[in-house]
Amino acid sequence: MSSCPTLRIALPVPLPQAFDYLPPAGGPAPSQADVGRRLRVPFGSRELVGMVEGIGGSDDPAGLKAALEWLDPAPLLGGELLASLRWLARYIHAPLGEVVATALPTPLRRGEPLPDTHGWAWELTDAGRDGMPGLRNGSRPQRLATLLADGALAEEVIEARMHDWREPSRALLKRGFVQRVAVPATAPPARPNPGPAPNPQQQAAIEAITAANGFHPFLLDGVTGSGKTEVYLQAIAHCLAQGRQALVLVPEIGLTPQMLARFRARLGIPVHALHSGLNDNERARVWAAAARGEARVVVGTRSAVFTPLPQAGLLVVDEEHDGSYKQQDGIRYHARDFALVRGKALDVPVVLGSATPSLESLHNARAGRYAHLRLQQRAGDARPPAVRVFDVRKRPLQDGLSPEVLEGIGRHLQAGNQVLVFKNRRGYAPVLLCHDCGWTAPCRRCSTPLHATPMTVHGAGRRLQCHHCGARAPVPLACPDCGSLALQPQGIGTERLEERLLQLFPDFPVLRIDRGTTARRDALERTLATLGEQAGILVGTQILAKGHDLPKLTLVVVVGIDEGLFSADFRASEKLAQQLIQVAGRAGRAERPGEVWLQTHHPDNALLHTLVNGGYHAFAEAELAQREAAGFPPFAHLALLRAEVRQVEQANAFLAALKQAIPADDPVERYGPMPAPMPRRAGFQRTQLLLSAPQRRALHALLDALMPQAYALPQARRVRWSLDVDPMDLY
């Protein structure tokens, strides 16, 4: 009996397998050349868009459904990108169909064709040539026709030569004198503009990167303002000169119009940006332009790591330590790590840059897996800021600000400079407390083992919001427990600091910048633009730590980092140290020297001490030693299975059944099922099973065996569950 060839189709459904279909009726038999093509298929009562992941065979073709229609004449995905996506699906143990859906821009995911990326040009028709002498001399139609007399011109070119061309073009079109024609978008040759002459450390880094042949990971470890971006730009210019494409990943808040303008000006070529501020069609067009090799430089946030690069020459991950590279739900991938996988598959150099490299990357550099390039001085004339620690124990504080700090803020403002006040707490106050009975406003849907999670006070004390589940409520008029009216916001958030600073420095603008005020991408830039060069105060969360250059900023005050010193999260110290160094790096970026003041109730804290006196690398050494002793990443490899459901017993039963399925002698250590550090969030009971192994291979061998069973467990359908390989935190 001969088996009938079938299409094995990856579908965006949370099931681990591919699905067999017959080709659309009347079409040719399936072949390997179909792999990577999309088609529409019936699935249950729905229609889905899937992608051919391989060719199978069936002995019972009568039992199979036929696909409805092909969506691509030729494979949309292929080569390196498809191979890397297959690798990712295996690594995070996610269905390939869901990985592909995540990697594709929305219109392509929905089945729309690859969009046009061609440009438009205008040309004279025969009628136009004949009619030209009849146009009034010096009129706009006549000038436009004269421009086109030598042949078709691209719209950008016409625009540059005649800014008021659109109206006459319509007039000529009506008379049949001109026509608009599609022309292939060709990448114009890059004309890089020279930047500053590199200093010796930059020069060494540029030479190492441009000399790399094939895959080569680099850690570009340079203090803030040391000229890392200059190194990227020179390496990209070299890559463009070889006729190759470059991809640059930046964190969510790093992709500013200012940064793009710098890239465009220096590289002398269109730079394509990919970020969440674009609409779906714009994203799809950039994707298509990259796939056709028309986009030579793509700069984007996390999901830009899925850009097709048929002529790749270089991958750059800026601020590689940034947490926004990890997707925290759905397909949980890490864009930096995936960039390394792609760099290897593409056989091109990968540059990871940071002033505060992740401990993972430092560990890899120390082990010799990455070439470690260091830039130890600020570029140009800027000097490193002076750091002072203020012990605020027993000091009278005004909304968290000590007299010395207030005096210093006043001094910098009077000198015409800008001051940044950093507090990593959005809202007005973290807690609403009844002064008479001790009641605090709880989130009804979130709690830890000891107490309900407090709601944060917002809106100058009028609204409550839960920062874990987003629930909102008005502030009650009186304490619901004792009826007292003595409800008081406790603790300090950015809103409260803003209010107080406005009172204390009425002659200066005070701008608050946090996720509440900068929901839109360009809001941060616009807010900063309103301040311009005038003296004033910026109050904000770590959103302020990056992006826009602030040459007038001379004082950074860090208020209340103490919460971060005592967190249960194993990465909390690393994150805190990175935030402190990054925010401190904002001070004195231009010729004005900068100061950084840290207020703390714990001046003797070992972490603070090491960081202030030894710098980030001393901190990282100490922290790596602790991680090694405790058996945490990067010395162990983790996978976290999370389950949530309204009844905790069901979540526990699911994870317990999975744990049962692990052979007793498996070397991977397992912890749990146990309640998540926040066991109730948004009304769901949350439990987790943590797997840990010193060797990646052992962990993945176990997951390979375990995950098919997870999908097959009867409980799996009653529970919201997920697997997070290399989790960033254990929450």
Asked whether residue 4 is marked as a ligand-binding residue, the answer is no
Q: Which does 479 bind (CB under 5 to 8 A by kind): ligand ADP, Zn ion, none?
A: Zn ion
Distance CA 300, CA 298 (A): 6
Binding-site member from 227, 454, 560, 588 for ligand ADP (CB under 6 A) = 227
State the nearest-atom distance from the C-beta of 229 to Zn ion, in Å: 39
Binding-site member from 228, 326, 496, 637 for ligand ADP (CB under 6 A) = 228
| Contact criterion met (CB below 8 Å) for 702 and 666 | yes
SS3 360: helix
Q: Which does 621 bind (CB under 5 to 8 A by kind): ligand ADP, Zn ion, none?
A: none
| Contact criterion met (CB below 8 Å) for 475 and 464 | yes
Distance CA 585, CA 599 (A): 17
Q: Which is nearer to ligand ADP, 586 or 670 (CB)?
A: 586
Q: Which does 379 bind (CB under 5 to 8 A by kind): ligand ADP, Zn ion, none?
A: ligand ADP
- The C-alpha angle with vertex 532 and arms to 530 and 535, in degrees rounded to 5, equals 105
Position 402, amino acid: S
| Contact criterion met (CB below 8 Å) for 250 and 300 | yes
Q: Which is nearer to ligand ADP, 131 or 551 (CB)?
A: 551
Asked whether residue 466 is marked as a ligand-binding residue, the answer is yes
Q: Which is nearer to ligand ADP, 230 or 623 (CB)?
A: 230
Q: Which does 228 bind (CB under 5 to 8 A by kind): Zn ion, ligand ADP, none?
A: ligand ADP
State the nearest-atom distance from the C-beta of 196 to ligand ADP, in Å: 3
**Token digits of residue 453:** 């999670």
Q: Which is nearer to ligand ADP, 30 or 198 (CB)?
A: 198
Q: Is 224 in the site for ligand ADP (CB under 6 A)?
A: yes
Sign of the Cα torsion 581, 585, 586, 587 reads positive
SS3 665: coil
Distance CA 383, CA 480 (A): 55
State the nearest-atom distance from the C-beta of 496 to Zn ion, in Å: 21
Q: Could you count the other beta carbons within 10 Å of the beta carbon of residue 330?
A: 13
Q: Is 230 in the site for ligand ADP (CB under 6 A)?
A: yes
Strand 69-70 with 38-43, pairing: antiparallel
What character string, x for contact with ligand ADP (CB under 6 A) and - otherwise, covers 573-592?
--------------------
State the nearest-atom distance from the C-beta of 494 to ligand ADP, in Å: 25
* Site of interaction with Zn ion (CB under 5 A): 434, 436-437, 439, 443, 445-446, 466, 468-469, 471, 479, 481-482, 484
Binding-site member from 12, 222, 251, 454 for ligand ADP (CB under 6 A) = 222
Distance CA 228, CA 221 (A): 8
What character string, x for contact with ligand ADP (CB under 6 A) and - otherwise, covers 235-274?
----------------------------------------
Distance CA 663, CA 686 (A): 25
State the nearest-atom distance from the C-beta of 197 to ligand ADP, in Å: 6
State the nearest-atom distance from the C-beta of 296 to ligand ADP, in Å: 21
- The C-alpha angle with vertex 702 and arms to 689 and 678, in degrees rounded to 5, equals 15
Candidates 180-188, 205-213, 224-232, 522-530; binding stretch for ligand ADP (CB under 6 A): 224-232
SS3 371: strand
Q: Which does 202 bind (CB under 5 to 8 A by kind): ligand ADP, Zn ion, none?
A: ligand ADP
All residues at 6 or more sequence positions from 267 whose CB lies less than 8 Å from its CB, including other chains: 190, 192, 233, 236, 237, 240, 297
What's the full length of the chain, in residues?
A: 731
Strand 46-58 with 38-43, pairing: antiparallel
Q: Is 631 in the site for ligand ADP (CB under 6 A)?
A: no
283 DSSP 8-state letter? H
324 DSSP 8-state letter? G
Q: Which does 229 bind (CB under 5 to 8 A by kind): Zn ion, ligand ADP, none?
A: ligand ADP
| Contact criterion met (CB below 8 Å) for 409 and 419 | yes
| Contact criterion met (CB below 8 Å) for 252 and 321 | no
Distance CA 156, CA 159 (A): 5
Q: Which does 437 bind (CB under 5 to 8 A by kind): ligand ADP, Zn ion, none?
A: Zn ion
Buried b (16+ CB within 10 A) or exposed e, 277-305: ebeeebbbbbbbbbbbbbbbbbbbbbbbb
Candidates 88-96, 226-234, 497-505, 576-584; binding stretch for ligand ADP (CB under 6 A): 226-234
Asked whether residue 239 is marked as a ligand-binding residue, the answer is no
State the nearest-atom distance from the C-beta of 467 to Zn ion, in Å: 8
Q: Which is nearer to ligand ADP, 301 or 692 (CB)?
A: 301
Asked whether residue 443 is marked as a ligand-binding residue, the answer is yes
**Token digits of residue 132:** 């030209």
State the nearest-atom distance from the C-beta of 348 to ligand ADP, in Å: 21
What character string, x for contact with ligand ADP (CB under 6 A) and - otherwise, covers 190-209?
------xxxx--x-------
What strands, in cross-sheet order, belong to the sheet with 271-274? 271-274, 297-300, 245-249, 312-317, 349-354, 216-222, 371-375
| Contact criterion met (CB below 8 Å) for 685 and 651 | yes
Total number of residues that touch ligand ADP (CB under 6 A) = 15
Q: Which does 226 bind (CB under 5 to 8 A by kind): ligand ADP, Zn ion, none?
A: ligand ADP
Distance CA 323, CA 252 (A): 9
Query: Residue with structure tokens 């969360």?
Result: 541
Q: Which is nearer to Zn ion, 390 or 439 (CB)?
A: 439
Asked whether residue 434 is marked as a ligand-binding residue, the answer is yes
Q: Which is nearer to ligand ADP, 197 or 450 (CB)?
A: 197
Q: Which does 225 bind (CB under 5 to 8 A by kind): ligand ADP, Zn ion, none?
A: ligand ADP
**Token digits of residue 131:** 């009619």
Q: Which is nearer to ligand ADP, 72 or 221 (CB)?
A: 221
State the nearest-atom distance from the C-beta of 549 to ligand ADP, in Å: 7
Residues forming the annotated binding site for Zn(2+)? Answer: 434, 437, 443, 446, 466, 469, 479, 482
Using CB under 6 A as the criterion, which residues of the chain lie in contact with ligand ADP when the complex forms? Answer: 196-199, 202, 222, 224-230, 379-380
